[in-house]
Amino acid sequence: MAQIVCVLGNKGGTGKTTLSHMISHGMALLGKRVVCVLTDLERERLSKENRLYLPFDARDAGNLAKVVATLNDVGDWFGVIDGGGNRSDTDSHLANLADLVLLPFRDSHEDMRTVLRDLEWMPRAWGLPSQWPADPAAHRMAQAATDELLGAFGHRLLDPIPHLAATKLLLQDRIPATLPWQLTNACVELAMQVFELLDIQYESPEAFAAPR
Ligand SMILES: Nc1ncnc2c1ncn2[C@@H]1O[C@H](COP(=O)(O)OP(=O)(O)OP(=O)(O)O)[C@@H](O)[C@H]1O
Ligand SMILES: [Mg+2]
């Protein structure tokens, strides 16, 4: 049976689509076969060209059922499902299918209050700090807000994904043949966190070591 990761959350713009592609790209770089599943009715499907993973259009509920059934039949694939924001009914359906649920949030109180509710609502889900500031002062403020609002859930938060302009390249219809190493590293580090939560072995990232 394939493993299914769902990136969900009852809030728009937190980075669900970007993170779904980052996880898919990172998993592929770590030697896995991955399908990145689009469920958001407001978005277009993206081209396979130059991608190491397969983008799949499941905006139609029938297609979602098909891809999940196919993933359940094959052993060595991973499915990363990008949830559509603000659709609690879809999110709870997707959460039930998932081996792992990730809930991205940015460093705003509004996002944190929303993810707090989602973490309470989905007891097996993990919070994923997204678009996190790199500037030291802003980073300290973001950490202080996280401690204040999400302190009770600190054990269910992953390492932050940095704010990185290059992430938008993954959302282009056709991505460039080569991607900046900062993006590659962020994708691999995220995929490694996901594999650790799923207890999955992966190829050593040294195989494509990028400058740090
Ligand atoms: N790590 C990041 N660094 C910089 N920009 C980012 C990052 N992640 C996402 N973004 C940007 O933030 C915006 C929202 O991201 P994205 O579309 O992935 O969010 P979403 O949760 O899927 O939104 P929606 O709810 O509309 O589906 C986009 O402009 C995207 O390029
Ligand atoms: Mg989206």
Taking CA atoms only, the protein residue closest to ligand 1 atom 25 is: 12
Percent of the chain exceeding pLDDT 90 equals 75
Per-residue pLDDT tens digits for 32-45: 999 999 988 878 88
- What are the beta bridge partners of residue 34? 78
The two three-digit tokens of residue 165, written as one number:
């302009």
Task: Give Dmax (Cα) for the chain.
Answer: 48
Q: Would you kindly state where each structural domain of the chain is located, as residue ranges?
A: 3-206
pLDDT band at 203 (very low <50, low <70, confident <90, very high): confident
Per-residue pLDDT tens digits for 156-201: 999 999 999 999 999 999 999 999 999 999 999 999 999 999 999 9
Helices (H), the chain: 16-29, 61-73, 88-97, 109-121, 136-150, 181-198
Q: Which of 6, 8, 10, 18 to probe ligand 1 with, by most ligand atoms within 8 A of CB?
A: 18
CA terminus-to-terminus distance, the chain: 36
Residue 99 burial by Cβ neighbours in a 10 Å radius (0-12, 13-18, 19+): middle
For domain 3-206, give the fold. Answer: Rossmann fold (3.40.50)
Q: Report residues whose beta carbon is within 6 angstroms of any ligand 1 atom.
A: 12-18, 40, 85, 130-131, 161, 163-165, 167-168, 171
Q: Given this model, what pLDDT does residue 195 score?
A: 97
Q: Given this model, what pLDDT does residue 43 score?
A: 81
Residue 88 has pLDDT above 80, yes or no: no
Distance between Cα 68 and ligand 2 center (Å): 19
Q: Given this model, what pLDDT does residue 90 score?
A: 78
pLDDT band at 210 (very low <50, low <70, confident <90, very high): low
Three-state SS at 129: strand
Three-state SS at 209: coil
Mean pLDDT of 53-60: 92
Mean pLDDT of 50-57: 96
Per-residue pLDDT tens digits for 135-148: 999 999 999 999 99
CA dist., res. 195 & res. 179, Å (int): 22
pLDDT band at 101 (very low <50, low <70, confident <90, very high): very high
Residue 207 has pLDDT above 80, yes or no: no
CA dist., res. 136 & res. 141, Å (int): 9
